[in-house]
Every structure is written in C-alpha cells, then in structure tokens.
Amino acid sequence: MFDLASLEKFDSQGMHKVYDIWPKIAKDSYFSNLPQIKDEKCPHIVFAGMGGSGAIGDIFSAILSKTSTHVTVVKGYHLPKTVSSDSVVVVTSISGNTVETISMLKNAIRINSKIIVFSDGGMIRDICLEKNIPHRNIKKHHSPRTSFTSFLYAMLHVLKPIIPIEEKDVLESIKKLEDMSEKINSKKISKENPAIQISGWINNSPVIYYPWGLEPVAIRFKNSLQENSKIQAVTEDVIESCHNGIVTWDKQNNFQPILIRGQDDYEKTKERWEILKEFFEIKKIDYKEIASEEGNILTKIICLIYLLDYASIYLAVKLEIDPTPVNAIEYIKKKLFKKRPTYFKLN
C-alpha cells in the first residue's frame, strides 16, 4: 500500500490529476460548441488512428456492432480497398503528427472519400487547411493517452448525426464515470479503492481475457499497462482462447489471468467463463475477475477503461516507475522523423 506522497513522487508529471477530472472532461467535451457533421446516409464508416486514437475507433466499432452500419477500424499506413468515395473516413491523431495516420489521410484524399479529422493541431491540421478538409481541433490533456475522454466525447458530439447512440446513453456513461471517480481517484488512496486492489494483485505479466463486445477495454488495458506500468501484457478473446491459448496453462508460467466480464454477457459466454474458472482452480492458478458496470455498451466500456487505466497508474507507483515517459516510443518516432519529407509530402 502507498500514500498520496508516493503517488505525487513517482507520478511527477501529474497524470493522475487529469484522471481525477475525467468525468468533467467528458461532460465538457460532449457539450462543446464544435460543429457537428451533416446528417446524411453513411453505409460505411472507417476509423483511422494509432494507439489511443485507434482505441477510440475500437469503441465506436463496438457501439455500432449491432447496427446496419459497416465499420472498419484501421491501424497502419494504408486504407483497405473496400474504402471508396462513399465511405466516411474518420481520421484521429491526438498529437496531429502520427506518421501512419497521416499516410491514411493521404490515402483518403486520393480516394476522394468523405473525411472528418480530429487532432490537437500538428501536421494533420496543416494538411486539412491546405486541402480544405473538415477538421475539429480538440485540446490535449497532459498526453495523448490521458486525452482519451476529451477526444471520445467530443467525437460523440461531432459525429452524432451518423452515430446511432442516444444522448441518454452518453449522459448515463458520464454519470457512471462520476460515480466511479468517487471510488478510484487520488483522494481515495486506501485498500478499498478497486483500482488499487487490482494494481496490488498484479505481480507478473497479465493475460487479459475478454468477451467480444469488450475487446476495446482489453486492448486499452494492455496498452496502458505497457505505457504506464512498463510491463508486458497480452489479450485473449475468451472464446477463441479455448481453441488454442488455454493449452499454455497446462504448465506453470509467469503470467496472470485477468477475466474482464460484462454484466450481460451472452449466455454461452457466461458458460465459458465458468468452465475457464473451474479449469484455473483445478490447476491452482490464481486469477482476477473484473466486472463491468451495469448500463449501455458505452457505459460498460468507458467505466472499465477508467478503472483499469487508473490501476495501471497505481501499479506504476507500486513499481516506483514514472507512468508518463515512453522513451522507447520516442526513440522510434525520432528514427521515423528523420524521413519526415517522405511521410508529409502530399503528392
């Protein structure tokens, strides 16, 4: 167990202070005065982005999974051939300088797709100004990964005409974030804090099991553990893993299973969870269950992300690590930016 002084010592750049106000950031972003896009038929939406920006695309994909809208999430340099001039390409780069995302934006320009871009300035905004492409500037808070709610909720507002999620569901998610904050924020440093309980349990590399609808949570948690806590983690679809990954538990290893469960998982998925737990108990493998809040899909996802992001910060403090620096990422960016003209040349 640690105290607030330890949190402030190791989280010297104040990442936790931004998480303390995530609910306010979410509300302010959703009720911003950013102009919404036009209301039109949209048979295919493409979300293009990397890292935290890409994870936002994963959330929209989950929200739209039970609608007739065709959604594609792309993380890389090139858009697939299925993208056409009828597609809406949503380009997100919190920094505005992500080379892969700029490459996808250039792809979309060449295809003559309908494009909407979100960033906090950067080269992407400059391209949009030059090419007369709709751009929404959203404020970055601390770092790209801590700006998750500002971008997600601003995008929910801007894209509202083509995203079939009711406002009451968005408001429910914000209210649940506020309730969650009362349990996990930095003023609640105690053994009753659920995020601290999770961080206290982790002492090896987690294997994060998830049901299909909560894949964005698992991906985000893996990324947060890697970036904030500086530990390795992997994700496993709970159904798919029963056809392959489960075999690795036949012998002792240095991984820890974490089961991320939805309150209303499909009945066959619930059955699979129970079988998996029984198997772990037979093998004497300690596991951690983390259940979603009750509510709509956005509420489930964003509250789990809030809880688990905070757990990754508390874990960093437990390990006496500053969660903010990402030196390996900066090394790769520095190498890539030596070839900057190749990436940023429009023609």
Count how many Cα atoms sit within 13 Å of the Cα of residue 317 in the half-sphere of its side chain: 28
Quickly state the pLDDT bin for 20 (edges 50, 70, 90). Answer: very high
Answer whether residue 36 shows pLDDT above 60. Answer: yes
What rounded mean pLDDT belongs to the chain?
A: 92
One of 3.40.50.20, 3.40.50.10490, 3.30.565.10, 3.60.10.10 is the CATH number of 13-169+332-344, namely 3.40.50.10490
Identify the CA nearest to 241 among candidates 257, 253, 226, 264.
257
- What would the pLDDT profile of 282-324 be if each residue is shown by its tens digit? 999 999 999 999 999 999 999 999 999 999 999 999 999 999 9
Winning range, highest mean pLDDT, from 34-38, 144-148, 246-250, 255-259: 255-259
- The model carries a pTM of 0.93
Residue ranges per structural domain of the chain: 13-169+332-344, 176-318
216-267 residue pLDDT tens: 999 999 999 999 999 999 999 999 999 999 999 988 888 999 999 998 899 9
May I ask the CATH class of domain 176-318?
alpha beta
Same fold? 13-169+332-344, 176-318:
yes
